[in-house]
Amino acid sequence: MNMTTFLFYFFEVVAAASSIALIFIRNVFYGALLLISCLLALAGIYVLAFAEFIAVTQIMVYAGGILVVIIFGIMLTTKISGKPLVVEHTYLFSGALAGLSLLGLFIFYISKEPFDTNPISSSTGINSLNTIGIGLMTDFALPFEVAAILLLVALIGAAIIASSTKTKKM
């Protein structure tokens, strides 16, 4: 077994274990941490599959942006109520049935799909990663930076609101 195969199986086990643990966890904060570990493991699998752009996008958008906002939302919600959020699992059978039927549909439609194994465009000779990178750094650089600054300001504001220090009123 070479190193690439070992890393693939390692990331696969981490993603599967954190996904399965996410089903049975009751604390929402720990669930968000398990979701982050699952998304990072998927990014590792994307890197091994030579899909670096998708891996970086997965880390930046999902693990870096959305889940951080979810964690701060959980921290603010528990600060207001004073107790941790707990999820009750009352619909296990119907959830498992819906999940298995969606998995069956997914497998059915993926098996019918013809996949193109040539990542290079036949007409231009430029792969899509170069096109996306050039577009992000030329035409869409300003919206990309504005969105990043907006997320940073929201993150700092949530951290200040969630902090435990209180100011004295005069």
Q: What are phi and psi of 86, to 5 degrees?
A: -125, 135
pLDDT tens profile 99-157 = 899 999 999 988 888 776 665 555 555 667 678 778 778 888 888 788 888 878 877 87
Torsion on CA atoms 114, 120, 42, 20, rounded to nearest 10: 0
pTM for this predicted structure: 0.58
Ranges 14-18, 31-35, 37-41, 99-103: which has the least confidence: 31-35
Distance, in Å, from the CA atom of 168 to the CA atom of 10, rounded to the nearest integer, reads 51
pLDDT tens profile 82-99 = 666 666 767 888 888 998
Return the residue matching tokens 């498992």. Answer: 96
DSSP 168: P
Cα–Cα nearest to 36, from 9, 1, 74: 74
Residue 55 predicted with pLDDT over 70: yes
In order, the DSSP letters of 86-134 are B-----HHHHHHHHHHHHHHHHHHHHHPPPP---B-TTT--BHHHHHHH
Cβ neighbours of 20 (radius 10 Å)? 12
Measured on CA atoms in the order 7, 12, 17, 23, is the torsion positive or negative?
positive
- Enter the tokens of residue 76: 């603010």
Q: For residue 27, what are the β-bridge partners?
A: 86
Q: Is 48 exposed, middle or buried (0-12, 13-18, 19+ CB in 10 A)?
A: middle
Cα–Cα nearest to 47, from 36, 39, 55: 55
Torsion on CA atoms 85, 92, 58, 37, rounded to nearest 10: 60
